[in-house]
Every structure is written in structure tokens, then in C-alpha cells.
Copies of this chain bind each other. A is one copy, B any other.
């Protein structure tokens, strides 16, 4: 399907995409470039990329598919660097967790070639960053959100949907605004709370002792607190207003639970917990809560 994938950013997300394409026989060769030469070299050693390029611009030379898989704040630098070498019919995608900011950046950086950019967000990942954890099955059964604009070329949107579908993902389309509002709630807020909860427990005087007693509930609740700091710094900053709104909403719900505790109102407390518990029991990935 593709002659050459230029992979800009050889980390967990990009590396997994390259491996998935290779496994599906969808690409002839993968040329990789990372800010860190060590990452690119490791990607080569692991067979994630077939060759390394010294620059992002060199990587896109001859590429009919370009994936930008870098922390969101590095997107502009990448796009500006590759623009002079981007082929006129190449499909260009990212994998960023925020979309409004990325779209604004791409519009500025790409000019007339903005029409080739199909913003993408695969709802997958791992708290274990780096190409060493790249996994050809990472996107299998996961959702991928595409947020094309009016100017985006329809044929490239279709091609993007086809490639993600071919590696096992379910594709959905929506506006960047709707995307960012939803993911502030179901992803960015939980990460913010997990960072805060883990640090709050770890930093207290008996923190290490407390942590030695924690069980499976704590393990799962705080798993995402181990996520990549640079990636999450960018997500929380680029989607700041939405995340802060979600946090404010969360605090009000927490207030209500604490008020019931303070009042010793067992019935009110149980009602609030039951509401959460019933809805969470009915929810599953990819489906709405009943």
C-alpha cells in the first residue's frame, strides 16, 4: 500500500505504528528520525525502522506516508522542517492527544500543504514510554479519532481511515473541538488526578511505608501516573482550559462526597457511591454507560 513511511519520532506510539504496518504488509520501507540519535539507533536495532535519516527533512524524501509521533510541543518544529520535502500526494498524520492546538500549528506550519494533514489520535498507549516497548498489536481493537478539517483532502482522509482499520483499529471522525472536550474528561483529567494522588501519597512523611502496603486497587488507579512527563506536560498545557474545567467539575463532585462524610449522612454517601458504582459497572471500553 505504501512505498515509504517516514517516521518522525521513534518512540512507543510511532514505533508501534511502524511495526503494525510491517506486520500487515502495508509498507515497503520505514525511514526513521528522532531528536535522540539513540532512539533512532535502537529503533533500527529492533527492526522498527529499516534506515535512519539525519534530519526529519531527509526522512520524508520519497515518503508517501509521514507520521509525526512526537510530544505535541515539538509538532511545529517537525512540520516546519519537513514541509520543503513533503511530496504532493503524501498522507501526513500525527498521533497527538490534543487536536485543536495541533491543527492550529499545522495550519501555520504547512500553508498550502495543510490539506494533506489528517490529524489522528489513537486511543492507545502505555505508561512504558520508548521504542523498546513498541508493539505491533498496540492499536488492535482500539479507537482512532480522526479530526479532518473542511480543507483536508477527502482522498487522504479515506486513506488514513483505511490504514488504521487495516492494523485493527476502529476509526471515528469528529471535530478537533469535540475531541479535546471529550478527552479532557476521559483521559487528561484522570492523568492529572493520578499524578496528584501518587505524589500526594509518596511525598508525605510516612509515604514509603504507606506505599509498601498498597494493593491491586492502588496499582491500577495509579498506573497512568507513570506516563511520560514531556508528553503529558504538553497535553495538559495545550488543552489547559478544558482540563481545568473538568477538574473544577471533579472538585464539585468530590465536595459532595466529602460533605456527606462530614455530615455523617450514611444514606447520602451510599447514594453518591452507588451512582458511580452502578454507572461504572455498566460501562465498558468502546460503549456508552447504560
Contacts and interface: CB of A to CB of B under 8 A. Distances in A.
A123 B213 contact: yes
B199 A275 contact: yes
A232 B285 contact: no
Interface stretch (A51-59, A74-82, A108-116, A242-250): A242-250
B273 A258 contact: no
B145 A213 contact: yes
Nearest to A220: B220
Given A249-B200, A273-B195, A285-B219, A226 B280 contact: yes
A254 B261 contact: no
A181 B258 CA distance: 17
A144 to B, nearest CB: 11
Interface stretch (A3-11, A23-31, A41-49, A184-192): A184-192
Interface string A223-242: 11111111011001100100
A278 to B, nearest CB: 8
Interface in A134-157: 142-143, 145
Given A247-B254, A254-B192, A187 B286 contact: no
Contact of A253 (B186, B200, B229): B200
Interface string A178-210: 000111011101111111111111111011111
Contacts of A215: 123-125, 142-143, 186-187, 285
A189 B182 contact: no
A195 B277 contact: yes
Number of copies: 2
A211 B283 contact: yes
A146 B276 CA distance: 31
Given A190-B197, A206-B181, A223 B222 contact: no
A194 B276 CA distance: 9
A225 B257 contact: no
A283 to B, nearest CB: 6
B224 A243 contact: no
B190 A222 contact: yes
Given A186-B213, A210-B182, A236-B261, A193 B193 contact: yes
Most B CB atoms within 10 A — which of A145, A252, A273? A273
A273 to B, nearest CB: 4
Contacts of A88: none
A289 B202 contact: yes
A277 B228 contact: yes
A171 interface: no
Given A143-B215, A190-B217, A229-B270, 6 more contacts: A189-B197, A198-B276, A198-B279, A199-B272, A199-B275, A229-B273
